[in-house]
Amino acid sequence: QQQVKQSPQSLIVQKGGISIINCAYENTAFDYFPWYQQFPGKGPALLIAIRPDVSEKKEGRFTISFNKSAKQFSLHIMDSQPGDSATYFCAASMKGGSEKLVFGKGTKLTVNP
């Protein structure tokens, strides 16, 4: 119930292509869904986040699509660039309690030039 399942584990995309990473959850109490980006040797950093009252959020080339009924959310990276090559983590948390984030296992994205 506390898990967030992320796929694929790795993804290779050509420059200019669209990268899509998917996550699914079971716990309907989750109400905050962030995506973190991590470059090698660095700590994760927030990329974009969504709450379940909207179905889509866009920031530049990054878009989160959220399907509340299916309990799924995904990250789309448009016009993928080599500089986007990193590991991406989806996560979820719920109101109240400890504010703990539950993370997916990560997707290593490689964008080839």
Q: What radius of gyration do the chain's Cα atoms show?
A: 14
Binding residues for another protein restricted to 8-27, rule: CB under 8 A = 9
Site string for another protein, 92-111 (x = CB under 8 A): -x-x--xxxx-xxxx-----
Greatest distance between any 2 Cα atoms in the chain: 45
5 lies in the site for another protein, by CB under 8 A: no
Q: Which is nearer to another protein, 53 or 99 (CB)?
A: 99
Which residues are CB-neighbours of 60 under 8 A, at least 6 positions away?
A: none
> Would you say 42 or 58 has its CB closer to another protein?
42
Interface with another protein, residue 54, by CB under 8 A: no
Nearest approach, Cβ of 77 to another protein (angstroms)?
19
To the nearest 10°, the Cα dihedral for 103, 86, 72, 93? Answer: 30
